[in-house]
Structure 1
Amino acid sequence: MKILFIGSRLFDDAAWYAKKHEIETIITESNEKAMNLDLADKKYIVPRGMEEPINIAIKEDVDAVIPLIGIDPPLTDVGLMKEKLEKENNIPVIAASSNTAQLAANKYDTKQMLTKNNIKTPKFKKLEKPYQIQDLENELPIVLKTPDGQGGVGVKIALNTEDIQDFIKDKNNIFTEKFVQGTEISIETLRWKEQTIALAPVYKGDTTLEGTHPLSKIKQAPLNISGIDNQQHNQAIRDLAEKLADMVKVEGTMDIDILHDARNNENYVIELNTRPSGTRYMTAATTNIYPICQLIDMACGTWSPENVKKEMKSYYATELPVGDFPENRQTPKIKQFSGENSYIVHGPKHYQRVTIRANSKENLNNLTYELVPDYARENNIKFI
């Protein structure tokens, strides 16, 4: 078995699994100084775009292609590559089609699709020039977005007139979204050959007027919201995620962002992302299902929701944005949990995060305070 991976930044999530299954790996990467290049059996430094990866996939006669791209702009081109290689060369590409990727990348079109299909999303509207700032002032606080926003870029929670004026400056394509006070949730969903399974809903913190980036928040799983039946609620989120994945006919993995409004006990879908999720380590921690490794199973033809269900576990987990993990602690090099009570450190220096899992809340507390005692005490971390 030979697989071509496009992009090396996330390859350490897959390398250990590919090696375990004796899969020959090839990487294409546009940055010759990128991380993880040495983990592959062969590497190619190529120009940006999909033309060279297509040529290399054909030349190397690979069995499948797995794009490991964590940003939206290239994903439509990835979808076009998928259509070409699958149709003309019978090489499966474990990624979304160009139409699905384009829909997910355009946040306004996504919300229109959700509304058309009677799926709840916060109230929104497109702004037309000349912008009427006084109308927006009556709706403060309000979320301002551009359709191609991602990772906090192109998104602003406006609290006053100055915020509005600052955001609309030099922008031609803006829409508004009602600010919802509630709980931020992500759930990863796997889909291949028209078979679908949603994994674990992950708590990403509460919404804030400051617009704190999800990477700066403490994450927890399983999702536990006070005052509701969490078992029933989490299943409802899984059902919704699978419905959405089937609706847009995604292939590979899709990350779905949801807001839970506790005041009316409603879930609002915010956006879809047809790329590896920023919560993938939390998903692996709590379920023992590694989403990127699942893409390899799809490429090998061994994947099925039934297999995922059989392998799925249920652990307690948290992810902490520690900045720099203590240097006096040994850091696992392989991006795999070593046991029921274990951890993974990930992210670049000064922006590191540690994902911890355990078989009980008590053990999760104990391991957290053992690994990062200063951070845990400063943030008064306790899982109850």
Structure 2
Amino acid sequence: MKILFIGSRLFDDAAWYAKKLGIETIVTESNNQAVNLDLADKVYIVPRGMDEPMDIAIKEEVDAVVPLIGIDPPLVDVGKMKDTLEKENGIPVIAAPYAAASLAANKYETKEMLLKNNINTPKFNHLDEPYDIEDLKEKLPLVLKTPEGQGGTGVKIALTKEDIVDFVSEKNNIFTEDFVEGMEVSIEVLRWKNETVSLVPVYKGDTTLEGTHPLSKIKQAPLNIDGINNEKHNKSIKTLAEELANLVGVEGTMDIDILHDSKSKNDFVIELNTRPSGTRYMTAAATDIYPICQLIDMACGNWSANKVKHSMKNYFATELPIGDFPSDKTIPKEKVFDGDTAYVVHGPKHYQRVTIRADSRKNLNNMTYNLVEDYAIKNNINFL
């Protein structure tokens, strides 16, 4: 079995599993100084874009292609490559097809699709020039967006008239979205050959008027909200995720961002992302299902939704941004959770995060304090 992986930044999430299965690995990467190149059996340094990886997949006669791309802009081209390689060369590409990728890449079209299918999303409105700044000022706080963007780029939470003026002077093709006060939630869903399974809803912190990036927040799973039936609520979110994946026809993995309104108690879908999720370590910690490893199983023809459902476990998990992991603690070599109480450290130096799991909230709390006591005390963290 031979698999081509596109992109090396996330390859350490896949290399250990591919090696375990005896798979020959080829990586294409545009940066010859990128991380994880030493983990592959063969490496090609290529220009940006999908033309070279597609040619290499054909030349190397690989059995499948697994794109490991964690940013949005290339995903539409990945979808085009998938459609071509699968139709003309019979090489499966474990990623979203062009139609699903292009829909997810356009945040405004995504919201129109949600509205058309009666799926809750915050109220939105496209802005036509000339902009009525005074009218917009009356609706503050207000979220300003452009159709493209990722990780907060192309998004502004406007609190003042000046915020509005600054955004519209720098951007075009703008739409507005109502600000929802509540919780930010992500859930990953896997889909292949018309089989679909959702994983675990992950709490990513509360919405803030400052627009704090999710990477700067503490994550927890499973989602736990005071005053509601959490088991029923999590099941509802998982069902919604599967319906959305089927609706757009995604393949591989999709990350769905949701806002839980603290006032109405309703869930609002914000966007879809046809790429590995930033919450994948939380997913693995809480369920023992490693999303990127699942992509390899799909490539091998050894994947089914029922198999995933029956393998899924239930742990308590948290993730903290710690900067640099304490030097007196051991960093696990592989990003694998070893046992019922375990942790993984990930991210570049000075921007590291630690993801921890345990079989109870009490044990999770104790493990967290034992690992990063100074950080926990400083941020007044208590998971009980």
TM class, shorter-chain normalised?
over 0.9
Residue identity opposite 1:71 in structure 2: I
1:309 equivalent in structure 2: 309
1:363 equivalent in structure 2: 363
Secondary structure of the corresponding residue to residue 284 of structure 2: helix
CA displacement, residues 250-307 of structure 1 (integer Å, 9 cap, x when unaligned) = 0000000000112111100000000000000000000000000000000000100111
Residue identity opposite 1:30 in structure 2: S
1:156 equivalent in structure 2: 156
Give the TM-score, by structure 1 length: 0.99
2:243 equivalent in structure 1: 243
Distance 1:217 1:155 in 2: 18
Give the 5 Å matches for 1:1-384.
Answer: 1-384=1-384
Residue identity opposite 1:219 in structure 2: K
1:382 CA displacement: 1.1
Residue identity opposite 1:170 in structure 2: E
Give the TM-score, by structure 2 length: 0.99
Is the CA contact 2:332–2:344 (under 8 Å) kept in the aligned structure 1? Answer: yes
Unpaired runs of 5+ residues, structure 2, are none
Secondary structure of the corresponding residue to residue 356 of structure 1: strand
CA displacement, residues 325-381 of structure 1 (integer Å, 9 cap, x when unaligned) = 112211112111111111000011111100000011111111101110100111111
Deviates more, 1:227-236 or 1:258-267: 258-267
Is the CA contact 2:72–2:149 (under 8 Å) kept in the aligned structure 1? Answer: no
CA displacement, residues 67-116 of structure 1 (integer Å, 9 cap, x when unaligned) = 00011111111011101110111000000011110100100000000000
Is the CA contact 2:140–2:160 (under 8 Å) kept in the aligned structure 1? Answer: yes
Query: How many pairs does the alignment contain?
Result: 384
Is the CA contact 2:199–2:283 (under 8 Å) kept in the aligned structure 1? Answer: yes
Distance 1:172 1:365 in 2: 46
1:170 CA displacement: 2.7
Secondary structure of the corresponding residue to residue 148 of structure 1: coil
Secondary structure of the corresponding residue to residue 238 of structure 1: helix
Distance 1:135 1:381 in 2: 41
Unpaired runs of 5+ residues, structure 1, are none
After superposing on structure 2, the runs of 4+ consecutive aligned residues of structure 1 that deviate more than 2 Å are none
Distance 2:14 2:220 in 1: 23
Distance 1:202 1:135 in 2: 36
Deviates more, 1:187-196 or 1:161-170: 161-170
Distance 1:167 1:343 in 2: 41
* Backbone CA RMSD of aligned residues: 0.6
Secondary structure of the corresponding residue to residue 372 of structure 1: helix
